[in-house]
Structure 1
Amino acid sequence: MARARFSNEITRTSVTTARASLLPQINATATQSSGTQSLDSINMNPNSPDFGRPTPDREFTSQRWGAGVSQQVLNVGDWFGYRAAKADANRADWDLQTASQGLIIRVAQAYLSVLSRQAELESAIAAEEAVQRQLEQVQQRFDVGLEAITGVLESKAAYDSAVVTRIRAESQQRVSFETLRTLTGTAYGEIANLKEDLAIVDPLPKDENEWVRTAMDTNFGIRSAQLALASAEHNVKNSMSQYLPTLSATASYGTNSGQSSVNGVVLPDQGASTSVNYSFNLQVPLFRGMRTQANVKRARLSRNLARQSLIEQELNVAEQVRTRFRLVVTDVVAVAASAEALKSAQAALEATQTGYEVGTRNIVDVLRAQQDVFRNEYQYNLSRHTYVLDMLRLKESAGILSDSDIQDLNSDIDAGNPVQKAP
């Protein structure tokens, strides 16, 4: 964001620069000079006491000060250059908003990534504890002759695998906290989890075409591309104005004063002179070595490029909005399906454990049933996190993502259920 803000400020300075060409230019001058004038001549005045002698050197000093003002009366190119600069500045504002939306998405993604890694870690810890208990039970049954050694070995292998999975999950959870720290500049030891009763609903309105129409009006990328085209149009007019005459007006005021001396004798003061000048400068371009034609051609090609970029941006945004709308709709179904799958896996585990106790199921069946429960629990939490992120991305594509959406997300967190960074 810091880079985006600096880039925005740099672009906005071009407006001031372009406006300066339309405003009066005022300047003041002051000059102090001194020198010696040597004449290689003979005094030929017979009435002069210096008749026949070389003309002496003359020393002089002079002062001059003045002020002037100039104003462009007619310069179409400067006017369109100013309008192009304003369009670029407005485009920079939209680019800054785009960067702001991108930051919101990245922070939300980093936050939800922590929650997903925590869900994975909790699943791994639960799996390790369950397999450990199962290993202890199998060992006890083996000790009294109710279990074969293969059951013990299978349980031990499952436990070792669960330990490795838990260690890997802890590492990934710590990495996700570091990613969040990099984005926010704050080192978090814990963050709040989402509420269990988080509302999972279809996007409103439920018509994807309505979302596309909204995006065409409010998407930041489209607005930026539109202003880029407007700037290119002004640049075309600016380049074509090089065929037109320009007219400027100038007014100046100045005074001159000074004195001279010969052989140290100051000559009589000649007084000061004052000058006031007014002028109009009309320039009519006749031929510039094909430079103007080349500038016009380049400006028109740049305009065509900007127009094509706008068309591509609109097509890409429409496709993106439709895709993300459908993803959110799919996420809603996926969350409901994951919840049902978790319930079914839990019921299947209970039935498998009962079957193991009565001898109709073996330990491998129990371990698989436990793994199904933990996997479905993780998938359920992951589907909720995916829904939240996809909804934010849909709003980003439509150009309606704002700080209020983050505030709404904050209202859906459960401060009493913190996620602590793994040691």
Structure 2
Amino acid sequence: MTIKTIAARACPASVRGRFGLKFWLPLAAALLLAPSAHALTLTQAWQAAEGHDRQLAAARAAAGVAEPQRQQARALWRPQLALTASAGLAASDTKMRGAQFSAPGLGSSSGVDFATSIHGGAATRVALQASQPLYNPARRAEQHQLTLQADRAQLALQAARQSAMLRTASSYLNLAMAQEKLRVLQGQIQAVQSAAQEAQDRFDIGAAPVTAVHEAGAELALIQAQVAGAQADITTRTRELADITGLPPERLAVQLPASASPEPRALDLWQQLAEDTSLVLREQQLQTQLAQAELDKYAAGSRASVDLIAQAAHDRLDGRGDFGAARNTSLNAMVGVQLTIPISTGGMRSGREQEAAARLAAAQQQEDAAREQLARSIEAAWLAMHTGAQQTRALQAALDASRLREDATHTGYETGERTLLDVLRARNDVAATRLQLAQARVGTLLARLQLAERAGQLDTAALQDASAPQP
């Protein structure tokens, strides 16, 4: 359906005869270019992006190490069982002198010699050993370290999810803003074309100078150039959002937010909330705790450890030696407690402990810097949110005034007090103010989402505030 058809249907014959079809063309263009009732909402875009975004998928895969790390931490204090078996060639010579021998019915003899000899015999050994740590400070520190690493992996996934939310919202709103700019420009084209035709008609009957025709033509060419740039921007923004969501470009009919009100909580409350729940700060705190656990592990390496052990072994050697065929077998078993006291590692342990202490000091400084940076970023986002809300109110008033000025200018043009250039300028002011208002709403909403993300509070509910279509 063409714009002229829409205008003809929307304009009754009686009214069309009074004002002319050209008067209704801008309104018809606005109706034709209005957002679809089936436009993609921001919440729907995020639902699509959650299962398709590549960066989020990579973070989800990386978070898979968390559970294995927790299993390792638990396994450090469980019994360990090992079975060893070996086979090969071996030799054995045993000599014993001055032994005492006794046997039932044979009496006893002193100064007895014993000797066994096997050369190149077949040797086998089977051993089973079990151990249960009872006291081991280094193992305890390693367990804490593994638990912290698992926590960090899960925290990284949470941060990646909120970052993906913000990235989706930014891409969505950028595309919505680009589409809004194109709608405004296309509406201007229709209005300028109507004005140009009217100027030409007036010039033909001698009621207007030729300069009015040239002014309208120049304005039309300028807007057409802007339309080309807006269309290229939409193509780029559409591809970006399609890559994030995995949706086909033809389904990416997005919409601007209906309103952009600031979050009501005061700045000091947001600062405290960020101190408690910020994922960035929590990540840095985990880094500090990991550095402390690393230091504790090396410091505990010089302490004694106690293990409960049980072992059994069977050794066998078959072959021939100096005294003919021979076989040596032994079976031993033991259950007890083993005490291990580290004495010296040649300076390795102390060197690693000093390195860990230096890394801990650096992590503590980085945590303090992250806390300061968080406070500044929270304040910046909070101020941007409230400044954007103030700009929105001011620009709404300016838009209302610009529309009144446009009406008055058009009336003046009809009576001959204003030129066509004045009318075109007034319309341009309305279009520019409308775009500035839309940009202020988008900026306010993005600042609100950035504030929530920096405080670790960004979720689907925050995105739903932007899901209502623009009235």
- The question of a shared fold, defined as TM-score above 0.5 by the shorter chain, is answered with yes
Distance in structure 1 (CA, Å) of the matches to 2:68 and 2:237? 39
Name the structure 2 match of 1:243.
302
Displacement, 1:71? Answer: 3.4
For the pair 1:356 / 2:413, whether they are aligned, the reply is yes
Matches within 5 A, 1:172-321: 172-191=233-252, 193-194=254-255, 198-205=258-265, 207-257=266-316, 260=319, 273-278=330-335, 281-321=338-378
Q: What secondary structure, in the 3-state scheme, does the structure 2 residue paired with 1:70 have?
A: strand
The residue type paired with residue 88 of structure 1 is Q
Displacement, 1:151? Answer: 2.0
The residue type paired with residue 168 of structure 2 is V
Identity of aligned residues (%): 23
Distance in structure 1 (CA, Å) of the matches to 2:125 and 2:304? 34
Name the structure 1 match of 2:143.
82
The residue type paired with residue 228 of structure 1 is Q
The residue type paired with residue 459 of structure 2 is S
Distance in structure 2 (CA, Å) of the matches to 1:23 and 1:35? 36
The residue type paired with residue 201 of structure 1 is S
Q: What secondary structure, in the 3-state scheme, does the structure 2 residue paired with 1:204 have?
A: coil
The residue type paired with residue 264 of structure 2 is L
Displacement, 1:32? Answer: 4.4
Displacement, 1:126? Answer: 0.9
Name the structure 1 match of 2:45.
none
The residue type paired with residue 355 of structure 2 is R
For the pair 1:342 / 2:399, whether they are aligned, the reply is yes
For the pair 1:4 / 2:59, whether they are aligned, the reply is yes
Preserved CA contact (<8 Å) 2:66 2:154: no
For the pair 1:171 / 2:247, whether they are aligned, the reply is no
Preserved CA contact (<8 Å) 2:256 2:442: no
The residue type paired with residue 25 of structure 1 is Q
Matches within 5 A, 1:28-177: 28-33=83-88, 61=122, 63-177=124-238
Distance in structure 2 (CA, Å) of the matches to 1:283 and 1:234? 22
The residue type paired with residue 394 of structure 1 is L
Name the structure 1 match of 2:422.
365
Q: What secondary structure, in the 3-state scheme, does the structure 1 residue paired with 2:301 have?
A: helix
Preserved CA contact (<8 Å) 2:196 2:216: yes
Q: What secondary structure, in the 3-state scheme, does the structure 1 residue paired with 2:368 have?
A: helix
Closer/same/farther in 2, CA of residues 284 and 256 from structure 1, 3 Å limit = closer
Displacement, 1:31? Answer: 3.5
Distance in structure 1 (CA, Å) of the matches to 2:91 and 2:268? 87
Distance in structure 2 (CA, Å) of the matches to 1:162 and 1:59? 100
Closer/same/farther in 2, CA of residues 193 and 36 from structure 1, 3 Å limit = closer
Distance in structure 2 (CA, Å) of the matches to 1:294 and 1:288? 10
Distance in structure 2 (CA, Å) of the matches to 1:126 and 1:308? 56
Q: What secondary structure, in the 3-state scheme, does the structure 2 residue paired with 1:275 have?
A: strand
Closer/same/farther in 2, CA of residues 108 and 173 from structure 1, 3 Å limit = same
Preserved CA contact (<8 Å) 1:193 1:413: no
Preserved CA contact (<8 Å) 1:128 1:166: no
Distance in structure 1 (CA, Å) of the matches to 2:91 and 2:144? 54
The Cα offsets for residues 72-101 of structure 1, whole Å up to 9 and x where unpaired, read as: 343211211210221122122222111110
Aligned residue pairs total: 389
Distance in structure 2 (CA, Å) of the matches to 1:35 and 1:240? 43
Displacement, 1:136? Answer: 0.9
Structure 1: runs of 5 or more not aligned: 38-56, 418-423
Distance in structure 2 (CA, Å) of the matches to 1:102 and 1:324? 15
Name the structure 2 match of 1:42.
none
Q: Which stretch of the first structure deviates more once superposed, 102-111 or 391-400?
A: 391-400
Distance in structure 2 (CA, Å) of the matches to 1:9 and 1:193? 34
Q: Which stretch of the first structure deviates more once superposed, 122-131 or 2-11?
A: 2-11
Name the structure 2 match of 1:47.
none
Displacement, 1:23? Answer: 3.1
Distance in structure 1 (CA, Å) of the matches to 2:91 and 2:277? 74
Name the structure 2 match of 1:383.
440
Displacement, 1:247? Answer: 3.7
Structure 2: runs of 5 or more not aligned: 1-55, 93-117
The residue type paired with residue 227 of structure 2 is R
Distance in structure 1 (CA, Å) of the matches to 2:351 and 2:74? 25
The residue type paired with residue 377 of structure 1 is R
Distance in structure 1 (CA, Å) of the matches to 2:184 and 2:147? 55
Distance in structure 1 (CA, Å) of the matches to 2:373 and 2:88? 69
